[in-house]
Chain A
Amino acid sequence: MTTAGVGRRARQMSSAPTRGAGRFLAGLRLVRLYAASRRVATCLIVLIACAIALRTALHWLPRTGVYARQIPLTIEAGAAAVIGVTADSPFGEPERVAGRWLPYLRLAAAVALTSAALGLLAAGSASQHLAGGTVGLLRDLAGFTGLAFVTGPVAGGALAWIGPLGYLGITLPALTGHWTMPWLWPARPPQDRGAAICAGLVFAAGLAVVTVRGARAWFR
Chain B
Amino acid sequence: MTATTAPAAPAARARPPRVTLPGPARLLRLELRRSIMPWLLPLFAVLFWFATYRPAMDNPPFWNVRSGIVQSHTMLAFAPLLAGAAAWTGSRERRRGVADLVGVSALPRWAAQLAAWLATTCWAEAVYLAGVAVLYGVTAHQVAWGGPLLWPVAVGAAFVAASCALGFAAGTLLPSRFTAPLAAFVMFLALAGGAFALQANITYAEIWPLNVQGAFPADAYGIFYPYLPDLPIAQLMFLGGLAVAALGGLGLPTAAGGRSLRIAAAAVTATGLAAAGTAVALAGTARLEPHGIVIPALHDAASDRPTPYTPVCAHTAIPICLHPAHRLLLPDVTAAFGPVLSQIAGLPGAPVRVTEVAVTSVHAEPSNGIALGGPALGGHPPVLYLPLAGMTLPGQGTAFSITENLRQQDGPWILSLLVGLPGQLGAVTGVNVIPDVAPGHSAQLAVLDGLVRALGLAGPGPQGAGIPGSGTPRGTSTGSPRELAAAQRFAALPAAARHAWLMTHLAALRAGQISVSEIP
Contacts and interface: CB of A to CB of B under 8 A. Distances in A.
Interface of A: 39, 42-43, 46, 53, 60, 67, 70-71, 74-75, 77-78, 81-82, 84-86, 88, 155, 157-159, 161-162, 165-166, 168-170, 172-174, 177, 219-220
Contacts of A173: 50-51, 54-55, 73, 76-77
Contacts of B196: 60, 67
B54 to A, nearest CB: 8
B81 A165 contact: yes
B76 A172 contact: yes
Chain A interface SS verdict (over half): helix
A170 B50 contact: yes
B178 A85 contact: yes
Interface string B176-196: 111011101100110010011
25 contacts: A39-B176, A39-B178, A42-B176, A42-B178, A67-B195, A71-B192, A74-B188, A78-B181, A81-B181, A82-B178, A85-B177, A85-B181, A86-B177, A158-B88, A159-B180, A161-B184, A162-B84, A165-B80, A165-B81, A165-B84, A168-B80, A170-B50, A172-B51, A177-B55, A220-B92
Contacts of A67: 192, 195-196, 199
Q: Which 10 A-B pairs have the closest CB atoms?
A: A161-B181, A78-B185, A169-B77, A81-B181, A170-B50, A74-B188, A165-B184, A173-B51, A169-B47, A85-B177
Q: What's the interface size class on B, roughly?
A: 35 or more
A74 B185 contact: yes
Contacts of A161: 84, 180-181, 184
Interface stretch (B35-43, B278-286, B329-337, B466-474): B35-43
B182 A82 contact: yes
A158 B180 contact: yes
B95 A159 contact: no
Contacts of B199: 67
Given A158-B88, A172-B76, A219-B39, A166 B81 contact: yes
A179 to B, nearest CB: 9
Contacts of A46: 178, 182
B46 interface: yes
Contacts of A168: 80, 188
Interface in B66-105: 73, 76-78, 80-81, 84, 88, 92, 95-96
B300 interface: no
Given A71-B192, A81-B181, 4 more contacts: A60-B196, A74-B192, A162-B84, A177-B54
Contacts of B192: 67, 70-71, 74
A3 to B, nearest CB: 43
Nearest to B76: A172
Chain B binding surface SS class: helix
Contact of A88 (B73, B177, B188): B177
A81 B185 contact: yes
A213 B517 CA distance: 88
B46 to A, nearest CB: 7
B188 A78 contact: yes
Nearest to B177: A85
Nearest to A184: B50
A165 B39 contact: no
Nearest to B183: A161
B40 A162 contact: yes
Contacts of B289: none
A158 B182 CA distance: 12
Contact of B189 (A74, A157, A174): A74
B58 interface: yes
